[in-house]
Each structure stands twice: as C-alpha cells, then as structure tokens.
Amino acid sequence: AQRVTQPEKLLSVFKGAPVELKCNYSYSGSPELFWYVQYSRQRLQLLLRHISRESIKGFTADLNKGETSFHLKKPFAQEEDSAMYYCALSGGGADGLTFGKGTHLIIQP
C-alpha cells in the first residue's frame, strides 16, 4: 500500500533561518511526488512537483529514490512562508493523490 509520512506536525523557525520539511514515502513503483501548501484562509494549492524540477518561492525538493524521501527545503525562511504543507504521492493513474498528515510551518519574526 502506498503511504506518505511527514514526521513533524509542527515546525517553528526564525525568519532568515533555513527550513527543511521532511517527507518519506512508500510505493512499489515509480511515483510522482508533490508538495501542496495551504495558506491561512486559502485553498490547497500546488507548490511544486518533482518532475518539473522548478524552484517555487525559493523552495526546492529533490526526490531521493534510495531513501524514498522528498524533503522540501528553503535556505532563508520568510514570514509569508507560514502555512500548512502537505507532501503527496501519485501513482499516475486514477487512484488520486495520497497525502501525508501535513506539517504546520511557523516562521517567527
């Protein structure tokens, strides 16, 4: 069965500090991995996906197949990064997205 684990329920860092949100997955094939973000009072939206290899809002994530991880990183956190972050996996078919439980990121001034 496919599974996504986000070990940190809450992560608090100071503005300007580096941020790393952890995501580990379990899947038998070659999954597609995503990070979704939900800012306060806004809907869930895609932040980035591993196949595009883009940097969005300064965030990057590298898929490590050996460690089955897809950690989200940003070198210098900003206050507007405070949000709920969800790691998600897709098998590419009609089985939808499998989400982790989410990490609440708080950036302190």
Residues in the chain: 109
- Closest contact distance (angstroms) between CB of 4 and another protein is 8
Q: How many residues bind another protein (CB under 8 A)?
A: 21
10-14/103-108 β-pairing: parallel
- Say whether residue 97 binds another protein (CB under 8 A): yes
Show Cβ contacts of residue 106 under 8 Å, excluding neighbours closer than 6 positions: 10, 11, 12, 13, 82
Stretches 10-18, 63-71, 72-80, 88-96: which one binds another protein (CB under 8 A)?
88-96
| Residue tagged 């982790």 (tokens) | 100
- Say whether residue 44 binds another protein (CB under 8 A): yes
- Say whether residue 75 binds another protein (CB under 8 A): no
